[in-house]
Amino acid sequence: MADNDAQHEHTFESADAGASMTYPMQCSALRKNGFVCIKNRPCKIVEMSTSKTGKHGHAKVHLVAIDIFTGKKLEDLCPSTHNMDVPNVRRQEYQLLDVTDDGFLSLMSDDGTTKDDVKLPEGEVGEKINKLFTEEGKDTNVIVLTAMGEEAAIDAKEAPKSG
């Protein structure tokens, strides 16, 4: 009987295994600075306007949003009664241990697990990480945003002194 039990044991690598990457929300319930999926990309809403109900049809919601990973501007127009997908976005802070030669960040979470698959971002955030960690030798925390199977370092700050 014990052999049979072993076949039914499942281990999940990630804490959110089985969690959906998006959830539906009615267009009229979306808010500025909230998140939404446009063209299957996780975006942050930067502008929103509603048009009045026409002779035929519904009020429309006009969304302008920025892709949270690429920074591209996307727009969408949808009836206010329709549902749109909202990405499950997780924001987590990690302690920076090292920047590898091939441009990846070596990060440690609060519980001591290490993560080595986040790339050093290009542009302002990457420069900020380099300045704090490499040039000034400060303890640095990196904020990583995860949504729809993608993740990116979006900010860095000096770690608070412990003790």
| 46 part of a folded domain | yes
Q: Choose the final residue of a domain: 87, 102, 121.
A: 87
| 122 part of a folded domain | yes
> Under a CB-based contact definition with an 8 Å cutoff, are residues 101 and 149 in contact?
no
d(CA 67, CA 43): 4
CATH number at residue 44: 2.30.30.30
> Under a CB-based contact definition with an 8 Å cutoff, are residues 20 and 88 in contact?
yes
CATH number at residue 113: 2.40.50.140
d(CA 123, CA 136): 18
Q: Are strands 22-26 and 83-87 parallel, antiparallel or unpaired?
A: antiparallel
Pair (154, 113) in one structural domain: yes
Percentage of the chain modeled with pLDDT above 70: 86
Q: Choose the final residue of a domain: 69, 87, 105.
A: 87
pLDDT at 10 over 50: no
d(CA 72, CA 87): 17
pLDDT at 25 over 90: yes
Q: Tell me: the pLDDT tens digits for 96-147? A: 999 999 999 999 999 999 999 999 998 899 999 999 998 999 999 999 999 9
d(CA 52, CA 2): 66
Band of residue 16 on the pLDDT scale cut at 50, 70, 90: very low
pLDDT at 162: 60
Q: Which domain holds residue 62?
A: 22-87
Band of residue 57 on the pLDDT scale cut at 50, 70, 90: confident
| 163 part of a folded domain | no
Q: What is this structure's pTM?
A: 0.75
Q: Which residue has the higher pLDDT, 123 or 13?
A: 123
pLDDT at 144: 95
pLDDT at 52: 82
Q: How many domains does the chain have?
A: 2
| 145 Cβ neighbours under 8 A, 6+ residues apart | 68, 69, 89, 90, 91, 151, 152, 154
Q: Choose the final residue of a domain: 87, 114, 139.
A: 87
Beta bridge partners of 51: 60
d(CA 94, CA 123): 20
Among 74, 35, 30, 67, CA closest to 50: 30
Mean pLDDT value across the chain: 87
Q: Which residue has the higher pLDDT, 97 or 11?
A: 97
Pair (80, 102) in one structural domain: no
Among 131, 124, 125, 162, CA closest to 144: 125
pLDDT at 19: 60
pLDDT at 59: 87
Q: Phi first, then psi: give them for residue 95, nearest 5 degrees.
A: -85, 130
| 79 part of a folded domain | yes
| 14 part of a folded domain | no
- Report the pLDDT averaged over residues 73-86: 94
